[in-house]
Amino acid sequence: MTTSSRAAGRLRCDAVALLLRLGIGSVFLPAGLQKVAGGGVAAIAYFDDLGVPAPALVAPAIGYLELIGGGSLLIGAATRWLAVLFAIEMMVAIPLARLSLAASESSITGAFGAVRLEILVLIAAICLIFLGSGRWSADELLAASMHSGRRAARKPADRSDPSL
């Protein structure tokens, strides 16, 4: 594999990571805002109806995860960690909240419609776990600044400086 084909492959992976982050972030940020709006009363009632234990604790926690995590994904901060959390959330939400809706549908297309967004978000989150945030992200900027800081700290002293 040539250097240019490796660079093109990296560019494609970075673009895919960016698009996945923007897609998942734009789904979760408003969903989280909706859950925490008005003190989260509607979300708590919904979680209670689903039979979620301690809905007064879980609903705001999920709401803030979605709100802050969705915003963080948009800028590419803590991408892999958030992708793990969002994948777990979808693995819980699909059977807990969405399968009963799917079962109540009269057609297979209606049933799939009840779970398709959550399945898509689950798959996208799993992809981000493997891809990471990509080059155009806060994660990458932080890693680059930490790397350059370590390199500067290890740089040997300039022996031509008379003050040394």
Q: What is the pLDDT along the chain (164 residues), one digit of tens a residue?
A: 788 999 999 999 999 999 999 999 999 999 999 999 999 999 999 999 999 999 999 999 999 999 999 999 999 999 999 999 999 999 999 999 999 889 999 999 999 999 999 999 999 999 999 999 999 999 999 999 988 866 666 655 555 555 55
What's residue 18's pLDDT?
98
Residues in the chain: 164
> Is residue 131 domain-resident?
yes
What is the extent of the structural domain holding 108?
Answer: 15-147
> Is residue 23 domain-resident?
yes
> Is residue 120 domain-resident?
yes
Question: Are the beta carbons of 122 and 94 closer than 8 angstroms?
Answer: yes
Q: Which of 67, 45, 68 is nearest to 55 (CA)?
A: 45
> Is residue 159 domain-resident?
no
> Is residue 90 domain-resident?
yes
What's residue 3's pLDDT?
87
> Is residue 153 domain-resident?
no
Number of domains the chain contains: 1
Ramachandran region, residue 56 (left: φ > 0; alpha: ψ -120 to 50; beta: rest): alpha
Distance, CA of 23 to CA of 74 (rounded, Å): 8
Phi, then psi, of 19 in degrees rounded to 5: -65, -40
> Is residue 124 domain-resident?
yes
Burial class of residue 25 (count of CB atoms within 10 Å of its CB; 0-12, 13-18, 19+): buried
CA distances from 17 to 73, 78, 124, 128, 137 (A): 10, 13, 9, 6, 9
> Is residue 66 domain-resident?
yes
What's residue 2's pLDDT?
85
What's residue 147's pLDDT?
83
